[in-house]
Amino acid sequence: MLQLNKNYKRVTTNSLQEIKSKGDKISMLTAYDYTLAKIIDKAGIDIILVGDSASNVMAGHETTLPITLDQMIYHASSVVRAVERALVVVDMPFGTYQGNSKEALYSAIRIMKETGGHSIKLEGGSEIIDSVNRILSAGIPVMGHLGLTPQSIYKFGTYTVRAKEEEEANKLIADSKMLEDAGCFAIVLEKIPAKLAQKIASNLTIPVIGIGAGNKVDGQVLVLHDMLGMNHEFNPRFLRRYLNLYEDISKGVKQYISDVRNSDFPNKNEQY
Ligand code: KIV
């Protein structure tokens, strides 16, 4: 299993296409800093997403809306310095591409120039297609993001499953095709019915990466801090926790406090 996509020394958008064509699966996780990006890159992850979920995970905001372009650039450049193999995708933050396509291109160029990232991701379909086209025309690879798009949370009003009704499902199918036809190299589908995600993945030639979209797509993405079990509060059905780092870190820190209080740390071997 770990050997799956190991033959790629450096994952590119072409490698992802190849992985899909072979019927293999693409692994993707978020990272926002140098240290964790280094670990997951060495572990063999295919794509590292510098997600705007940094707004929640790193900065403690309730939504992804407040994070700025400068803050995303800071996170992304830290990640890029660590990565040797994975394809790095950087989220365009809210307000940097929806207004007009010129501003979208300017924001995307800043991300590419100032971070060294390999591609950008933005949320939405037909509403932002002018921005997608303009960014693509500058030679910048674009990943789409449809379904639950957290930057539109105040329009949706809730984080529940999207596209359960036919009208929304049909728009999603049309948007995914539009993004593929425009030239996007992949699409993330977030929190939609598994059957719909399967239909979209089989309709498209580009890879479809799911989060809460079942396993009949071409790959999976999770927020790193969630899958490492670093928080207890976020419990969606799609989340599988592979570790319980909240407990492990808390245990380690409690032991340290106790050792310091008891003058057990440092001992003779830990001093000069
Ligand atoms: O920002 C993010 O972490 C994301 C993933 C949930 C796909 O967009």
Per-residue pLDDT of 207-251, as tens digits, reads 999 999 999 999 999 999 999 999 989 999 999 999 999 999 999
At 145, list the tokens. 């993001």
Q: Are residues 218 and 257 in the same domain?
A: no
Q: Can you give the pLDDT at residue 8?
A: 87
The model's pTM is: 0.97
Residues within 6 Å of ligand 1 by CB? 30, 49, 51-53, 91, 145, 188, 190, 211, 221, 223
87 assigned to some structural domain: yes
The pLDDT tens digits of the residues spanning 133-149 come to: 999 999 999 999 999 99
Q: Are residues 144 and 92 in the same domain?
A: yes
Q: Can you give the pLDDT at residue 192?
A: 98
| Dist CA 247 CA 117 (whole Å) | 33
What residues form DSSP beta bridges with 221?
A: 28
**Does residue 7 register a pLDDT over 90?**
no
CA of 53 to the centre of ligand 1 (A): 6
**Chain centre to alpha carbon of residue 250:** 27
**Does residue 1 register a pLDDT over 90?**
no
DSSP state of 205: S
Q: Are residues 146 and 230 in the same domain?
A: yes
Q: Are residues 231 and 248 in the same domain?
A: no
Our mutation pick for probing the ligand 1 site, out of 27, 40, 53, 55, counting the most ligand atoms within 8 A of Cβ, is 53
7 assigned to some structural domain: no
The dihedrals phi and psi of 30, each to the nearest 5 degrees, come to: -85, 160
CA distances from 119 to 10, 34, 55, 101, 170 (A): 14, 18, 20, 17, 28
Q: Please, which residues have CB within 8 angstroms of residue 86's CB and are 6 or more apart in sequence?
A: 11, 40, 41, 45, 46, 47, 48
Q: Are residues 79 and 157 in the same domain?
A: yes
At 62, list the tokens. 């309730």
CA of 5 to the centre of ligand 1 (A): 22
Answer for the pair 165, 171: CB distance below 8 angstroms, yes or no.
no
CA of 243 to the centre of ligand 1 (A): 20
> How many domains in the chain?
2
Ligand 1 atom with the smallest distance to the CA of 28 is 7
Q: Are residues 205 and 250 in the same domain?
A: no
Long-range contacts of 101-110 (CB under 8 A, 24+ apart): 101/130, 101/131, 101/133, 101/134, 101/135, 102/134, 104/128, 104/130, 104/131, 104/134, 104/135, 105/131, 105/134, 105/135, 105/138, 107/69, 108/135, 108/138, 108/140, 109/138, 109/140, 110/69, 110/73
**Does residue 4 register a pLDDT over 60?**
no
| Domain range enclosing 256 | 244-272
DSSP state of 221: E
The pLDDT tens digits of the residues spanning 146-188 come to: 999 999 999 999 999 999 999 999 999 999 999 999 999 999 9
Q: Select from 38, 8, 43 the least CA-distant residue to 24.
A: 8
The pLDDT tens digits of the residues spanning 28-44 come to: 999 999 999 999 999 99
**Per-position DSSP letters for 30-41, written without gaps between them:** E--SHHHHHHHH
Ligand 1 atom with the smallest distance to the CA of 51 is 1
Segment holding 121, helix H or strand E: strand 119-123
Q: Are residues 198 and 254 in the same domain?
A: no
Which residue matches tokens 């440092």? 266
* Overall average pLDDT of the 74-88 stretch: 98
